Amino acid sequence: MKRIYVTLDTEMDNDIHWGKHYPPEYSSIIEGIPKLLRPIWNRYHVHPIYFVSPEVLYDARCVEVLKDEVHKGAVVGAHLHPEYIQPDSIWGKEIEKETAKYPCSDYTDDIEKEKLKNLTELIRDKLGVTPVWYRAARFGADESTIQALHEMGYRYDSSVTPGIDWTSKGGPNHSKAPARRYKISRECLQKRAHGAEDFSGIIEKPVTICGKRWGFIGRILPDNWLFYRWLRPTHMTYYELKRIVRQMIGDGLDEGVMMFHSMEIMINKTPYVRNRWMQQYFLWRLDRILRYASDRGFTL
């Protein structure tokens, strides 16, 4: 069976500079999911995966929306933004000054594991489901993360962005990571091993990224994530998204992972949607690429 997983990093709203504000707002969840996204999910029988950040579960309205989504067939995964859950969490006006952290490198292994455990329990308590999918904030997972996931009963990780090196920002190096799903060895993310020996118990479902954009021009541009071909309607044209799906088919890839942030669909909650027209264009791209993939036999 061919499958494209439609995944959303589900978080509080930002501003156009990715800044956080207190008290937090959650328009993308309270309004965006039921009013803008659910009609698209229904149209193409999408079973989205919501990677839920801790702060979302502090809001009763968000909890109700996500419970309803689970009832309609959605999957809930864990998305550890470590700043917002104990131990050593921050809240209140402090969030406006704090920069986003890498769970695997800005905290000790023990602290990261405790935060992940607390997030897992919070999801179970608030939504009544036990998550088996994980995506680290800022794609910041390493071998210790995988070991912790294994111990907590997780089955899938989707923190890898093939071809992209985040080390200049303090994150992991995915430049040599495979584009296909694979069983993760215990040395997984550090040494890029992806064989079945010494299997960690976790299967990696990497975000679908197919090299640089714009051919030769793209290859000489700086090594910035925006210059890569993601299965992500945020910054990709419909034509580029179609090319990715066609490439998947041509390469025999039977799985892909689309990702975007929940707040990217809302006006002035990220840099990408600044007015009603841009919002409609984003939703049009999302709708069209899901239709295109569905027409070519992909389950969503």
Mean pLDDT of 146-155: 94
Question: Is residue 85, in this structure, part of any structural domain at all?
Answer: yes
Question: What is the pLDDT at residue 135?
Answer: 98
User: CA-to-CA distance for 69 and 71, rounded, in angstroms?
Assistant: 5
How many residues would you count in the chain?
300
Q: Give dist(CA 78, CA 65) in Å, integer.
A: 16
Q: Quick check: is 195 in a domain?
A: yes
Residues 233-261 pLDDT 10s: 999 999 999 999 999 999 999 999 999 99
Return the CATH number at 53: 3.20.20.370
Domain count of the fold of the chain: 1
Instruction: Output the CA angle 185-189-190, nearest 5 degrees.
Output: 105
Residue 239 lies in a domain: no
Containing structural domain, residue 36: 3-208+254-295
Domain-located, residue 122: yes
Q: Which 3-state string (H, E, C) describes 199-224?
A: EEEEEECCCCEEEECCHHHHHHCCCC
SS3 state of residue 6: strand
> Rounded to two decimals, what is the model's pTM?
0.95
Q: pLDDT for 273-287, tens place per residue? A: 999 999 999 999 999
